[in-house]
Structure 1
Amino acid sequence: MVNNVLLVDDNRATNFIHEKFIAKSGKAKEVNCFMAGQRALEYLEQTNNFPELIFLDINMPTMDAWEFLERYRSIANKEQAKLFLLTTSISPQDEAKKKDFPEVEEMLYKPLDVKIFNHIVTKYFPAPTT
C-alpha cells in the first residue's frame, strides 16, 4: 500500500484512466493528477504529503520529462519517491537520456493497468514481514 501517487501527463483522458486503474488496485490511498510539469513541481515543493510514487509522461508540451527531472532534483523530500517515466514508445534517445537520471526507476509503456501498478507496489513497497 502507498499513501500518495502523483500522475503527471498532459492528456486528461490518460490521467483519468490511470487514476481509475490505481483506485481499482486498492493499493493507493491518494492520487493527485497534474497536466503540466510546472504545476506538479509547485505541488511537490509545497505538500506535506510527498508522493511515494510518481508517474511522469515523457512527452509533454511546455515542460517535458527531462526538464521536469532537472528541476525535480532541487526538491527537498524527493528521496522517498519512486519515479517512473511513461511513454507510448520508448525511443533509443529516451533510453540514453534516462541514464542521466538515476532517480528514475523504470521507463514503462502507457497505459498503466491494475496488473502493472500492483507489480510496481509489490516490487518497490514490499509488505513488512512479521
Structure 2
Amino acid sequence: MSIKLKSVLLLDDNLATNYFHKKIIEKSGSTELVLEFRSGINALNYLGQEGIEPPELMMVDINMPIMSAWEFLDKFNKLKNKTNFGTKIILLSTSLSPADKEKADEIPLIKEVLLKPLTKESILRVVADIRA
C-alpha cells in the first residue's frame, strides 16, 4: 500500500514558513498536492466549497493573527460535522507552551503537535501513522 496522501493543507500566516514546509513535503514525496493558506478564513472558505475533496492532513500553525488555530478548529469542527471529513490535524508551533499542549490533548481532531520547522522525517512519520 502506498503511503502517499492525495492532499495536505498547510495553514500558517508566515509566507516563508509555508514555502519552506511546502518544499519539505514535496521533497518527501508523501502527497500528490500541497494546498497552502495564510488565513484561517480563506482555508475555511476553500474547505466549505461544494465538491472539493477534503485534505487527508492539515498542518495548522497555533499562533496566527485574526484567527488562531483554536478558533479555526472550532469553525472547522462545525464544517466537519456537516460533511464527511476524515482529515487528520497536526498543530505546528515554534515553542509549545504547556497550556497549548493541554488544550491540544483535549481536542480529538488533533493528532499531535509538532515543533517547527518540519523535517522530511517528521512528515514521513506522520503520513505513515495516518496510513497505518
Scaled to the shorter chain, the TM-score interval is over 0.9
What residue is the counterpart of 1:109 in the other structure? 115
| Alpha-carbon shift at residue 78 of structure 1 (Å) | 5.7
Given that 2:54 and 2:85 are in contact with CA atoms closer than 8 Å, whether structure 1 keeps it comes out as no
1:1-130 equivalent positions in 2, closer than 5 A: 1-46=4-49, 48-75=52-79, 76-77=82-83, 79-126=85-132
Tell me the TM-score normalized by structure 1. Answer: 0.92
Q: Number of aligned pairs?
A: 126
Partners of 2:34 and 2:67 lie apart in 1 by: 21
Q: Note the alpha carbon deviations across 1:18-75, whole angstroms, 9 max, x for none.
A: 0001100111000000001110111111151210000000000110000001101111
Please state whether the residue corresponding to 1:102 is helix, strand or coil: coil
* Paired-residue identity, %: 42
Partners of 1:94 and 1:59 lie apart in 2 by: 10
Structure 1 residue ranges, 4+ long, deviating more than 2 angstroms after superposition: 76-79
Query: CA, structure 1 residues 109+62, in 2 after alignment: closer, same or farther (shift >3 Å)?
Result: same
Query: Which ranges of structure 1 fall in alignment gaps of 5 or more residues?
Result: none
Query: Which ranges of structure 2 fall in alignment gaps of 5 or more residues?
Result: none
Please state whether the residue corresponding to 2:106 is helix, strand or coil: coil
Partners of 1:96 and 1:119 lie apart in 2 by: 23
Please state whether the residue corresponding to 2:48 is helix, strand or coil: helix
| Alpha-carbon shift at residue 100 of structure 1 (Å) | 3.1
Tell me the TM-score normalized by structure 2. Answer: 0.91
CA RMSD of aligned residues (A): 1.2
Given that 2:89 and 2:109 are in contact with CA atoms closer than 8 Å, whether structure 1 keeps it comes out as yes
